[in-house]
Amino acid sequence: MNPLNKIIFLSAFLATGFLLILLSGALFNNWTTLWIIFIYLIAPLPNLIASSIENSRDDFLTFSNDHGNNPTSIQEFCRFITGVIVISGIGLPTVLFRCKIIEFGSMLMSIIGGLIVYVDIIIFIWFFSEEEEENDDFNF
């Protein structure tokens, strides 16, 4: 897939997620659901930090950073923190609904919109972290 097509697709997907979150606040006249945007935007940060740390680290006397398929303790901890952040993005609207601060429609729209934003960020990282093949002239 052409990188321009990837960017266009992902931006439309991201705009849909932000629209749902904004509508969850605007339609029900309660803007507390906008915290979901912040939560899902910081969710991939621990994994990005862990991957940059692991890629810059070399093993002693071998000068290679090939750890095989075994994740290190830093990667596992950052995956745990990412999981906590994503679950709190689902849990915050649920708690707000149970406390009668927001309505059911607002809760549903903010959860779906937040998950769309998070999935879009993950797909963006996945698309652009792959190395392109050198002899692939017919890559559409």
Q: Per-residue pLDDT tens for 7-30?
A: 898 999 999 999 999 999 999 999
Output the pLDDT for position 81: 95
- pLDDT for 81-140, tens place per residue? 999 999 999 999 999 999 999 999 999 999 999 999 989 988 988 887 765 555 555 555
Output the pLDDT for position 16: 94
Q: What is the DSSP string of the chain?
A: --HHHHHHHHHHHHHHHHHHHHHHHHTTT-GGGGHHHHHHHHTTHHHHHHHHHHHH---TTT-----TTPPPHHHHHHHHHHHHHHHHHHHHHHHHHHTTSS-HHHHHHHHHHHHHHHHHHHHHHHHHHSPPPTT-TT--
Mean of per-residue pLDDT scores for the chain: 84
Output the pLDDT for position 37: 87
Return the percentage of the chain with pLDDT > 70, whole number.
Answer: 82
- pLDDT for 59-69, tens place per residue? 555 555 555 56
Output the pLDDT for position 57: 66
